[in-house]
Each structure stands twice: as structure tokens, then as C-alpha cells.
Amino acid sequence: MILSKKACGISESLTLSIDAKAKKMKSEGYDVVGFGAGEPDFPTPDFIVQAAKEALDKGFTKYTPSSGTPLLREAICKKFERENHITYTPDEVIVSNGAKHSLYNIFQAILNPGDEVIIPRPYWLSYPEMVRMADGVPVVVDVREEDRFKVSAEGLRKVITPKTKAFILNNPGNPGGCVYRQEELQAIADLAVENRFFIVSDEIYESLIYDGQKHISIASLTDSVRDLTFTVNGMSKAYAMTGWRIGYAAGPKEAIQVMGNIQSHSTSNPNSIAQYASTVALNAPKDCVQKMVKEFDKRRLYMMERIRAIPYLSFQKPEGAFYIMLNISQCFGKHHGNTLIHDSLSFSDSLLKSRMVTVVPGIAFGADSFVRLSYANSMDNIRRGLDRMEEFINELV
Ligand SMILES: Cc1ncc(COP(=O)(O)O)c(C=O)c1O
């Protein structure tokens, strides 16, 4: 049987498979501490759960318009106006099965074979694969840890070609935890306007931001950059709704229409009950989100303090999302038992086997000198996990 060459070239999502491995080991009775999670450990806030029950009781269980209910798209427009200072109309908005699906639809809608999409590395691992799935060419631009994993306009300029169709901005960033300042965004926006390429601005972590930083949406800067930008967001991270699968994108009306057509033939509407509950969530005050952010911040500070005291490990302070990119390069060349630690996979494997701690090897993000630790984890787990990691590092010879 000959399968599609394009499809066979797409790799499995390593973060999802590591998470699945940790969950499986736990279910088999192993005492695993997982730092791999890409999802809040909190339950979905109760008023959102109640709204879903209300949707069921009301019989809101049928197909909706495939690009999302008018009420949810209106709530999204109000959210963009209120929080991001961008004016969108409902026909410039599409609701999809998670932000991941919105991103997938964007690349399907804008790319022709051979079109280039610039992606800063370390990157969220789905970006290059999504671009490939749409016959595009990922063009990677390396960013430096010293620059807090942010791409500069100069760095970006070097990789722009006549084939550049889009640039992916992940702000706040996964895995680096970076948060872009206004002047940095303005310089990127100017380049996009000058060279006429799209900006795909993935803002899924916008609410998870610390140290008094402010999230700025690049589309809010000027009308000309707004017209070239897709602003992507969703319910998963801010509202602890990863399993509900609601994400959304706003952008140029013509492209949103094409995305809607694709969605209408592939998935139809996102889950009606989840859409109903998301509408209630977006129209409510954000106290529940603020509570979670406070808790994440406590964990972030605790983790940073602990890691600073462990030899051979270093990091740049993350300002957003819920990850720490741990530089492990000082461990390379050392042994744990018989195992030589020489890259992120050997580090992660050895840590899991000897101490039952999962981390995500940086190679998944194109950064082999790092492992990613998530602090979307209870304080107790974080403490136990770091105790074990400290023992592991102290055993390196
Ligand atoms: C950078 C980034 N974008 C998008 C997503 C997708 O989120 P969703 O659950 O809405 O599909 C994730 C989830 O891990 C992410 O880390």
C-alpha cells in the first residue's frame, strides 16, 4: 500500500507523545513527575462548566454555522476591542477546533506550493509541520538565548526573499517564554508592510504574563499592519479549557472566508456546547484567569529560585506562558551512570529512567542544548520533581 508521501513526511507531535508516555506510566503505577505538560493543571472554572450544562439542557446540540455561532464571534470581537484594541467585525473572525486548527486553516488558505514562511527557532513544534502540510517551505531563523529568544527586525530582514509569504510571531512565546515590547513589534510590523507578507500572530498565551509586563497585539499598532495580520487566540490556556477545543482567528476578510470554506468541508462547526460555554466565558470578568496567573507566577518564581541553586543548569527568566527553557549544555560530556549526556534526548531519557521525571527535549523545538520544563504543575509536584532533578545533576560525573 503506497501512502501519501507528503503525509508520511509529517512527524508525530513529540510534546503530545511525551505527555501520553508520562500519563501511561502513571496509570501503570509508576511515580512519575511530569514537567512536560502543555496545559493548565487547574479545572475549567465552574461558571464555564455550568454554562455547558445549560447548553445541554437547552438542547444546544445541533450544527451551528461552520465558522462559529454569531454570538461567539461577536463576543470575540468585543474581546479584541476591549483587551487588544483591535476592531474586527464578526465576518473577520473564525472559530475553530482549537488555536491549532485556526493556524492550520490559515496556512491552508494563504500558501501556494513553494511559498516561504519564516519561523523563529526555538519554535512551537507544530509550526513547521503545518507549513509543510500546506505545501509551504518553513524558513527557520535562529534566535539567541541572550536575546530572550526574540527575533529582531535585523534577523528577520536577512531571511526575507521574494517568496516570503508569512512570518510567525508567537507572543508570548512557547517554549522561550518571551514577551515582545512595543518597539520590537513596530520594527517587525514595518518590515511586513514594506515587504508585503502576512504576520501570523499566535497569542494563545497572552493572559499568562508576569512581572507587570503588558501584552501588545501587533495588529493593534497600525491599520496597515492590521490588514496583514492574523491574530490567533483560544480558550485552552487562559481558561484551562484544553479539552474543549475552541480557538479562533481574526484577519483579512477574504482569507477568513476561504478558511471558513475549508472548515466547512473538513470539520464543520466546532463543538456547539463548547462554543456556548466559551461565549459565556469571554463575556465575563477575567477574575478566574487572574487567579490562575497568580498561582503560575508563584510556581515560576519558586522554580527559578530552585534551579539557580542547581549546578550546570541555567535559564533566561521567562516573562510569559508557563515554561522554563533550561540550558543543559554544561551537562554535555558528563555521565549519569553508564549514560553519556550529549544532547537533549540523552538528558531527558536518562532523567526519566533514573528519576521518573519527564521534561521535553529541546530538539523538539529545534534547540538541542535545552529541555523545556512546564510549571503548569502543582507546587508539590514541582518540589518533588526539582528534588529529583537536583539529585540527578549531582550524580553527573
Ligand atoms: C504556541 C501554541 N500555539 C497554539 C497552541 C494550540 O492551542 P489549542 O489548544 O487552542 O489548539 C499551543 C498549545 O500547546 C501552543 O503552545
Render 33-97 in DSSP notation, one character per residue: EE----S-SSPPPHHHHHHHHHHHHTT--S---TT--HHHHHHHHHHIIIII-----GGGEEEES
Indicate the domain borders of the chain.
5-43+288-394, 61-284
What is the per-residue pLDDT for 162?
A: 98
* pLDDT score, position 310: 97
User: pLDDT tens-digit profile of 19-69?
Assistant: 777 788 888 999 999 898 888 999 999 999 999 999 999 999 999 999 999
pLDDT band of 179, cuts 50, 70, 90? very high
Instruction: Answer whether CATH 3.40.640.10 is correct for domain 61-284.
Output: yes
Q: How confident is the model at residue 11 (pLDDT cuts 50, 70, 90)?
A: confident
Tell me the best of 104, 237, 239, 374 to mutate to test the pocket of ligand 1, counting ligand atoms within 8 Å of each CB and taking the most.
237
Q: What is the pLDDT of residues 225-265, one digit of tens each?
A: 999 999 999 999 999 999 999 999 999 999 999 999 999 99
Average pLDDT, the chain: 96
Q: In terms of Cα–Cα distance, which of 377, 379, 368, 360 is closest to 174?
A: 360
Distance CA 360, CA 33 (A): 13
Q: What is the pLDDT of residue 17?
A: 73
**CA 53–ligand 1 middle distance (angstroms):** 25
The residue to mutate among 174, 233, 322, having the most atoms of ligand 1 within 8 angstroms of its beta carbon, is 174
| pLDDT score of 18 | 74
Per CATH, the number for 5-43+288-394 is: 3.90.1150.10
Q: Which atom of ligand 1 is nearest to the CA of 103?
A: 4
Q: Residue 20's pLDDT is what? A: 78
More confident residue, 10 or 181: 181
Q: What pLDDT digit, counting tens, does each position of 314-352 carry?
A: 999 999 999 999 999 999 999 999 999 999 999 999 999
Q: How confident is the model at residue 75 (pLDDT cuts 50, 70, 90)?
A: very high
145 neighbors 292 (Cβ within 8 angstroms):
no
126 lines ligand 1 (CB under 6 A): no
pTM for this prediction: 0.96
- The yes-or-no verdict on residue 97 having pLDDT over 80 is yes
Task: At 328, list the grid cell.
Answer: 543543559
